[in-house]
Each structure stands twice: as structure tokens, then as C-alpha cells.
A and B are shown apart, each in its own frame.
Chain A
Amino acid sequence: MAFIYGVLEEEYERLQDKKRDYEEKLKYLPKGALVKKRINGKEYNYLMYRENAKVKTAYIKQDRVDEVRAQLERRKKIENSLSNIKKDMSIIEKVVK
């Protein structure tokens, strides 16, 4: 059954590759949440996010709201995948050690 170590090593490398890919993708995706602010009776869309423990907001034009929302959802999915990848990597590390 020694081949199992080889299989695990290959799986580990595959996970490392994926982790690198996803971390790179996350750099280009916005983080935070979309919020609406009412100013002078009119609603405006903002992206609220945290930077160095400070909460910041950025104005999002109405025609970009759907795009940003889709990007935030994609970020969430990738973060979920990354969390699974890290868990799997830690399991393999324990087994191989």
C-alpha cells in the first residue's frame, strides 16, 4: 500500500496549485458587501469593505451593481473552495507526517 503516499503527494500538489490559482483570482475580485444609502431622498449603491481594521465605502454606479454583485458571489464561492482545499491539505499533512 506504499503507493498511497505517492497518490497523496500528487493530490497535495494538485491542491497547492489550486490554492495558488484561487489566491491569485481573489486579488482581482472585490470584497465586502453591497449596501444602499439614502441621500436627499435618493438611493445610492455602495460597496462596504474592511481595510486595515477600518470600514470603508466605495460608490458603485447603478449600471455596475449587477456586475459587482456577481463578482462578490464568485469571491464567496472561491473562498469556500479555498477553505475546503486548506482542510484537505491539512489532512494530507497529518497522514504523511
Chain B
Amino acid sequence: MINRHLERQINVFNDAVRVLHDVGALEHVIVVGSWAEYVYQESGLLDFKSSLKTQDMDLLIPNIRKPREKIDLIKALENEGFEHRQSPEGLMKFDKDGLIDLEFLVREIGQGQIAPYIVNSLGVTAQGLRNMDILVENTIPAIANGYSITVPKPAAYALHKLVINEDRKPDYKKEKDIEAVRNILIAIQKSPDESKNIQNIYERLTVKQQRRIQNTCQKYGIELPLEKELINETEKAKNNSQVVENRDRDQVSKIKKQRIEALMKEEIPSYKSAKCNYFLYRKEIITQNNGWPGKEADIEIVKKMLLAGNEQQKIKEILVKHSLEITKKTPSEIIKYANDVINKALTPEIKKVIGKQLER
């Protein structure tokens, strides 16, 4: 029964790959997650049997601006019988026959954002995740069921799982990933190419990432097929960077403390941080009105923040984060509220002033 179920799941996976290929989107996505392991097995890239496959088929979009020409992926998937669903936060999923959930991921960079990323070129929304660079920078095409599918190199796949292990929640996901890594490492050791890859990729990782890998390997008793010298270097770097990190941390907390003290005395009301501006203006309004007057006040604050040079996206994030903390509204209602406030704040006069600021 389970084999038949898996067969049906594989058929849906193949349907999704075919649709992506036919509309010209397959070359712009990387198959990651447990379905990448299926591609390793099916393409013969690794001599192994893939571990547990879940319902989610994760597609990583390395560059949200590509392809340049717009593709109506939603329509193409719906024509193939995929049902389009959306989470309250606005994240899209595509399901076929209740067997597979197709989801999109992108690299989260900078401060990140709560709301899903909009991928205009494909007309879909995607979840932002950190540490995806390891996968994006180390890909390989694999031929499975007649299609060339881009997947992370198996070595990158395993190292990535080791890097993110300590952040994985809930705990069973950590163990599930470790099982997958053990399984894949056995196959990597059998392949001279992949053994070389693991060495090369490991060397190019940041010290922080290497340290995370060493910690995870130590915790679960995993021995990576790396040259011993390389591991010793990581150990040395680990000790050195710990000293630097402690020093930096002390310095940062000192500066933070000074800023907060200054803000408390209102010595620097024109401080440009969006978060500080928001709370300063909020405090002013509450004091003037003996309470919070409502949406109009938020619009006034946003106007002031825009004039102070704060970015729209940043303002939206702060509004959303703060509203999430203080109201019982759903995330989608909050996002809608934030969009509405920003739109109302962007009067022609404000737009004109911002335009002039940008020119300068």
C-alpha cells in the first residue's frame, strides 16, 4: 500500500517537473529538500536509496528577478490539476490529488521580512530562508525521468543540513536531517567526485558555518570525509573567533546602551532608525492625546517616517511586527492594515518631497 502511495506521489512530482519545464521555469528553480534526494537516486548521481520523502516539494528560486519575461505559473499548474492554496500569511502552495504540496523558497538576506516574498517573474509567493547560499552556489544538473533538474550537489546538501541543524525546530527535524546526512555521507564516500566536492565546499564556507558543522558532527558522532588538517584549522579559527566575538559583543552592547540612554533623554529625536522613529512618534501622539487615537495616528506616523527618510518596506515591517504584538488580528489582516496605512500616508505631497530627497 505504501509503495503504491509513493508511486502516486512520484507521478505528481513528475507532473510538476513537466509543467515547470513546459513553461520555461524549470531552469530557474532548484529542487531542494527530501525530493532532491529522490533526484539523486533516480538520476544515478549517487548510489544510494533516498530517505523519507515528505509531502512538501520545495523549489528554491535562486534569483527572484529571473526569468525576465513573466510566466503565469499559477495558470499552468492549475491546468495540470494542481489546486492553488494560500496560507493566512499569503504563502502559496500547490497541491495535486492531496499527495504533494509544491512550495517556493528564496534566500533571506539582510534583516529579512515576516511576509512572504513576491516573485513577480513567476507570479508566486515564496518563503525566505537563511543559509541557502550553500545550496545556490553549489548546484548540479541531474537527468531524472527525461528532464534536466537542477539540484544542490549532494555534498552541499549534506553540509547545509549540518549548518542549519541547531536552528531546526521541532527537535525531531534535527534527527530526521541527521539520518538523511548519515545516509548521504555513506554514498558520498563511495564517489570520488563527491568526496572532492565536500572538501572544496567545506573550505569555502565561513568560519561560523564550519564551526556549526563541527558542533553538529560532534553532537551526533558524525565523521566528515575531510582531511584532518582542515578540521584542525577550523578548531583554531573557532578559538580565535570566539575571542573576537566576545570583544565585539561587549562593544556592541556598550554602543546600544549609550543610544538607548540618549533616546530616553530625547537628546537625539531625529535618530534615523525606523524603529526608533516609530516609537518616538508614537510616544508623542499618546502623550498629546492621552491615549492612542487609532488608524489616523498610524498614518500620521508613517508620513513623518517617510519624510525622515525611512524606507517603506522597513516601515511596513515595523507596523506589522508591532501590530502582531498588540492586536488579536490575523497576520493577513495586519499586512492588509499596514499596506492600507502606507498607501494613505503616501499622499501626492509626501511623494513629491520623497522624490526630491532621493534626487539629492
Distance A44 CA – B322 CA, assembled complex (angstroms): 57
Contacting B at CB under 8 A, from A1-53, are 1-7, 10-11, 14-15, 18, 21-22
Q: In the assembled complex, how far is the CB of residue A8 from the closest CB belonging to chain B, in whole angstroms? A: 10
A15 close to B85 (CB less than 8 A): no
Q: A7-B54, A88-B5 are in contact. Are A21 and B85 (CB under 8 A)?
A: yes
Task: State which of A3, A18, A80 has its C-beta within 8 Å of the C-beta of B172.
Answer: A3
Which residues of chain B are near A21, meaning CB under 8 Å?
85
User: In this complex, what residue of B is CB-closest to A85?
Assistant: B98
Which size bracket describes the interface of B in this complex?
A: 20 to 34
Which residues of chain B are near A68, meaning CB under 8 Å?
none
Contact with A along B1-20 (1 / 0, CB 8 A): 11001001000000000000
User: In this complex, what residue of A is CB-closest to B1?
Assistant: A91
Number of A-B contacts defined by CB within 8 Å? 59
- Count chain A residues whose beta carbon lies closer than 8 angstroms to a beta carbon of B: 24
Name B's interface SS. mixed
Name A's interface SS. helix
B296 is an interface residue with CB less than 8 A from chain A: no
Q: A18-B95, A84-B97 are in contact. Are A7 and B52 (CB under 8 A)?
A: yes
Distance A84 CA – B81 CA, assembled complex (angstroms): 15
Which residues of chain A are near B171, meaning CB under 8 Å?
6
Which residues of chain B are near A4, meaning CB under 8 Å?
52
Task: State which of B97, B170, B173 has its C-beta within 8 Å of the C-beta of A81.
Answer: B97
B346 is an interface residue with CB less than 8 A from chain A: no
B98 close to A88 (CB less than 8 A): yes
B99 close to A84 (CB less than 8 A): yes
Which residues of chain B are near A1, meaning CB under 8 Å?
179
User: In this complex, what residue of A is CB-closest to B2?
Assistant: A91
Contact with A along B35-51 (1 / 0, CB 8 A): 00000000000000000
Which residues of chain A are near B175, meaning CB under 8 Å?
2-3, 6
Contact with A along B316-341 (1 / 0, CB 8 A): 00000000000000000000000000
Contacting A at CB under 8 A, from B49-79, are 52, 54-56
B83 is an interface residue with CB less than 8 A from chain A: yes
A72 is an interface residue with CB less than 8 A from chain B: no
Distance A15 CA – B99 CA, assembled complex (angstroms): 9
Which residues of chain B are near A81, meaning CB under 8 Å?
83, 95-99
Distance A84 CA – B83 CA, assembled complex (angstroms): 14
Distance A15 CA – B100 CA, assembled complex (angstroms): 10
B binding-site residues for A, Cβ under 8 Å = 1-2, 5, 8, 52, 54-56, 81, 83, 85, 95-99, 101, 170-173, 175-176, 179
A/B interface sample: 9 pairs, CB < 8 A:
A14-B101, A15-B98, A22-B98, A77-B81, A77-B97, A81-B98, A84-B8, A84-B97, A88-B5
